[in-house]
Amino acid sequence: MIGLTLAFHFDGSVTIAKTSTQEFAPNAFIRIGTDNVVRLWAIRSEMGQGVRTLLPMVLADEMEADWEKVVITQARMEPRFKGIRLRTSGSGSAVGTWTPLRKAAATAREMLISAAANQWQVKSETCRAQQSTVIHVPTGRKFTYGQLAAAASTLPVPAKPRLKNANEFHLVGKPVKRLDGKSIVTGSAVYGLDVKLPGMLYATVVRCPYLGGKLISCDPAPALKVVGVKSIVPVHTGFSGGVAVIATNTWAAIKGRNALQPVWDKGPNASFDSDQFMRELEQSLSKPGFPVRRVGDAPTALAESPRKLEAIYEYPYQAHAPLETMNCTASVQAGSCEIWVPTQAPEAAQQEAAKLLGVPADSIQINVTMLGGGFGRRLQVDYVLEAVEISKAIGKPVQVMWTRDDDMKHGFFQAPKIEHIQVGLDAQGKPVAWLHKSCGPDLSVLGLPTEQDRKNPNFYSDDGMPWGLFDNPYNFPHQTGDFVPVQSPVPTGPWRAVMYPSTVFARESFLDEIAHTSKLDPIQLRLQLLAPGDVLDLKVQKVDRARLIAVLRLVAAKSKWPVPPREEAGRLWGDGIACNVYSDDCYLAQVAEVSVSKELADIRVHRIISVVDCGLALNPLGIEGQTESAIAWGLSAALGGKINFKNAQGQEHSYADFKVLRIDQAPHVETYLLQGSDTPGGFGETAVPTVAPAIANAIFAATGKRMRRLPMTPEKLQNA
């Protein structure tokens, strides 16, 4: 029986190819066999944000599949998914797939209904699809999707399938649990490090500990003496290159690596000190930088203001440190390669691996495993190329694992920033001129735009960067925003919420400084600055001030704002507010409730109340989870560790010295949802940027001490 396979392209076009299977395969994401199993493919990487459940759920709802019985498979880099984005970044998964997945699913639904209607010789309008069956409503006759699969695959493709109305959803908008829950709690979920191949060897890599340094020599003998070690090969890929130790088991690979004593050329950055670098960033404030935002004439308005305020905020290098370290399993054969990897960037991995091997991209197949956290680190393909290079060198499949120490030292870290804000206040203390300059490495690996890009003064503003500064939502009569990119020898890259954390930390903290100086309530000040609740049109983004006003009003109500600072049981208590618009589709306001001991010896965040408007919440359970998750992330950076380099060497080893939030410090999180639009906003990162300023503002309310340099520690508080 000949069937039809439809390839559904994200530009909307549909092509038809003949297959010889009885399976109904309306597009790359859906397969229904005559066994009545509905198979759905997840086209984004699962790193905890729930897309492996969420995206198939959108398919299942629209196509009326029985959710309890669907089988989910992770999409691979293979010809079937060519032209379909798999890259998982920018909180863009739900936003980018919402309409295309629904169209694909609605197409399948209508074809199945037509197949049933044809069999019964009735009108399609008299049939209804539900729970993987089609029912003829007047008579109650039923066919399962499995029974219809062969017939459906012979039918013409509807050009404009009907999409369900919002009131027809039975999964979308409801709290749906993660499908991977069972495999996670039984230990059967497969992450990158869990992959096992026949004949696979294990490898670790010793990488240059000096930023920008190089290997001079490495005597392999000490490693080869370790039982289980098979060979040593040089590695030229990855950020720094190094030497790989290949062994029959992981422990031998680690021991062999520890036995090596490579000789390094320390390179041109041998005295690099990250604390010193922050001071250099402050000096870079004197440079003009790239203009990002211009409203009115802020310099003149500032000069003419009766009162001026300014402050400098500091955001250091930060690590991702996901629980699963970097790893990749690669099997290179003649002319082809198969890879198993926890990655957010399968396309980049395929392209770069193909370049490295000198083969066509299609001959590289990539299996995306579960990710033990991504947070932007797994957008880099350094650790993929290492495995490909090593497998090619040894002629065998190999699993390259990074130790925690490797991970702490060889990341692509969150870029550090110095944020400088000046404000001119009028006689009533209202801000009339706002000047914000951000200084630090940009989103590229070494922090600077190319020679060519540097010539374009709009290089950053054309893309709405830096976030949080470009899209400052407040209505200042005069405003400038500028960005000074600075080169960093420390490789940097996207980290959860990317450019927002530093700019929003400065912006939302400084608003409170203005409120305090002018004796205005911080929420009232923000509401005044968002009047008249219009849409701020920045061309590449449109910020709806009314939605930000709405979340601010609700968070005020939920937190019973204002709660006066007080002293209770030897501790000083205060509340702090911060709000932000994330990529113009999510609006969020948070209040943090903090206490500090009277001796300023410890800082405790008790509660964080978040009001979230992410448009249509596809899964409220997921939105709450991501709020809790992003708060933990932001809290770790606000109060925990940072990444330090001294003499060009990374200083942190593990979670012992890179402090992250643990359960005993975790605040109680309350999440309230507003819906300001009918389409979903991207929410994986949204709740991060407001955490640090809300806490800083609460600490100020409690103690009268302003913390401007992260992380906020008792030591800094005592010296403030």
Q: Which residues bind another protein (CB under 8 A)?
A: 46-50, 175, 177-178, 180-182, 184-191, 193-194, 196, 202, 227-228, 249-252, 254-255, 321-325, 370-375, 401, 403-404, 621, 625, 628-633, 635, 653-656, 660-666, 668-669
**DSSP characters over 590-656:** EEEEEEEETTS--EEEEEEEEEEE-BS-S-HHHHHHHHHHHHHHHHHHHHS----EETTEE---STT
Ranges of beta strands (E only) in 176-220 are: 201-207, 214-217
Q: 48 or 96: whose CB is closer to another protein? A: 48
- Residue 560's contacts (CB-CB under 8 Å, 6 or more residues apart) are none
Q: 49 or 686: whose CB is closer to another protein? A: 49
Q: 16 or 71: whose CB is closer to another protein? A: 71
Q: 185 or 263: whose CB is closer to another protein? A: 185
C-alpha span between 28 and 579 (Å, rounded): 40
Cα angle, residue 450 at apex, residues 447 and 451 outer, rounded to 5°: 130
The H or E element that residue 182 is part of is: helix 181-185
From first CA to last CA, the distance across the chain in angstroms is 78
- Residue 606's contacts (CB-CB under 8 Å, 6 or more residues apart) are 593, 594, 595, 667, 668
C-alpha span between 59 and 164 (Å, rounded): 12
State the minimum distance, in angstroms, from the CB of residue 205 to another protein. Answer: 16
C-alpha span between 323 and 332 (Å, rounded): 28
State the minimum distance, in angstroms, from the CB of residue 203 to another protein. Answer: 13
- Residue 669's contacts (CB-CB under 8 Å, 6 or more residues apart) are 607, 608, 610, 627, 628, 631
State the minimum distance, in angstroms, from the CB of residue 397 to another protein. Answer: 14
**DSSP characters over 387-421:** HHHHHHHHTS-EEEE--HHHHHHS--BBPPEEEEE
Q: What are the structure tokens assigned to 67, written together? A: 């959710």
C-alpha span between 537 and 581 (Å, rounded): 13
* Among 609, 595, 559, CA closest to 701: 595
Amino acid type, 241 = G
State the minimum distance, in angstroms, from the CB of residue 172 to another protein. Answer: 17
State the minimum distance, in angstroms, from the CB of residue 402 to another protein. Answer: 10
* Among 691, 467, 635, 627, CA closest to 49: 627
The answer to whether the CB of 575 falls within 8 A of the CB of 591 is yes
Q: 266 or 320: whose CB is closer to another protein? A: 320
Helix (H, G, I), strand (E, B) or coil at 442: coil
Q: Checking DSSP bridges between strand 307-315 and strand 327-333, what pairing results, if any?
A: unpaired
Q: 464 or 667: whose CB is closer to another protein? A: 667
C-alpha span between 595 and 572 (Å, rounded): 5
* Among 421, 420, 431, CA closest to 305: 431
State the minimum distance, in angstroms, from the CB of residue 550 to another protein. Answer: 25
* Among 348, 347, 350, 404, CA closest to 372: 404
Q: Which residues of 578-617 are buried (b: 16+ CB within 10 A; e: fewer)?
A: bbbbbbbbbbbbbbbbbbbeeebeebebeebbbbbbbbbb
Q: 211 or 370: whose CB is closer to another protein? A: 370
The answer to whether the CB of 38 falls within 8 A of the CB of 66 is yes
C-alpha span between 486 and 476 (Å, rounded): 28
Q: 406 or 512: whose CB is closer to another protein? A: 406
State the minimum distance, in angstroms, from the CB of residue 465 to another protein. Answer: 26
Q: 337 or 592: whose CB is closer to another protein? A: 592
Residue 435, beta-bridge partner list: 422, 480
Can you give 312-359 as a three-state secondary structure string? EEEECCECCCCCCCCEEEEEEECCEEEEEECCCCHHHHHHHHHHHHCC
C-alpha span between 411 and 14 (Å, rounded): 41
**DSSP characters over 474-488:** S--SEEEEEEEE---
The answer to whether the CB of 16 falls within 8 A of the CB of 36 is no
